[in-house]
Structure 1
């Protein structure tokens, strides 16, 4: 009887070892691939701001009202598709920083709570961008951790888009709003798109 018990114990041990080995192999298979985004924490981002290209995808009036992470650049989510289609010179003139590159691992996406960065990440992936990182805690996590803010926020506003309005949709609320780029303030009633005479047509973002 004792011999059978010992044999049974050994069989159980062997099965446990085989099961552990199989689990480890599965984990290796399902590890995030190089093409998947890597999240970034407050600690990592705040310790080396100058070496990251932080892209804030909130609407301009949100950035002005609530403030922004130092060194960050504003590129609203609703403009991302059009922005990616711009050439480097037009992008720089319109957004005030070099066009993001598919080969740049320093790109960090941030928004208000982390929801919109996931949407932006999918858009970027659809255009062949796979090296960007996501600040999943975004603005709310930055504030919670006591991070420094530029307040009021200062989204880039090139002179040639003064008085231009764009119609935007908040991806978190689905509210459509017209935004005056010179002030960042939402318009209450108008949903029409008005352009200054100096605005090239391709710069009007819907």
Structure 2
């Protein structure tokens, strides 16, 4: 069985090798970090319960809730798990409701794509095209539309890694950087393949 001294030597060697390759792993999970505050609108209780493991959830709201009443909750983001056709029409026309108020106050709004009622239908095509145009309006307003499985990833606490030099796809894969946060040091360069990998694996970049 390895003793503490031997473990320290091994750890030091591993860190030295990673540093030589331009990878400075500095996991900075802060156990005292306050959870993200999220308002949840919709009937998807399974998703809501899942998000509760990552965030502090305020679900005591509906479309007619006034934003001012949420100020004490200080929600940073709004997750909408389902959206009826009537609600889609109202939102696309910019009518005042809790979603538009979040947007007007520079807060992030996430919409679960599978929760769109109109997506359950395919005909009549002319009507579906009208709903598609309304849906496009929401995205242009700044609503972020994600698949249900992607919503949870948005709120998972991320490890933070510092990385320098030429950042390649291979280097990111070795780091297991999926869904993590990468601190890019000054002077570093990201290859085109690495850039594609970052976009497709929910990796957040922060530049020094």
Query: When the two structures are superposed, what TM-score results if normalisation uses the length of structure 1?
Result: 0.25
Structure 1 or 2, whichever has the larger Rg, is 1
Higher relative contact order (CA 8 A, sep 6+): 1
Query: When the two structures are superposed, what TM-score results if normalisation uses the length of structure 2?
Result: 0.24
Q: Which has the higher strand share?
A: 2
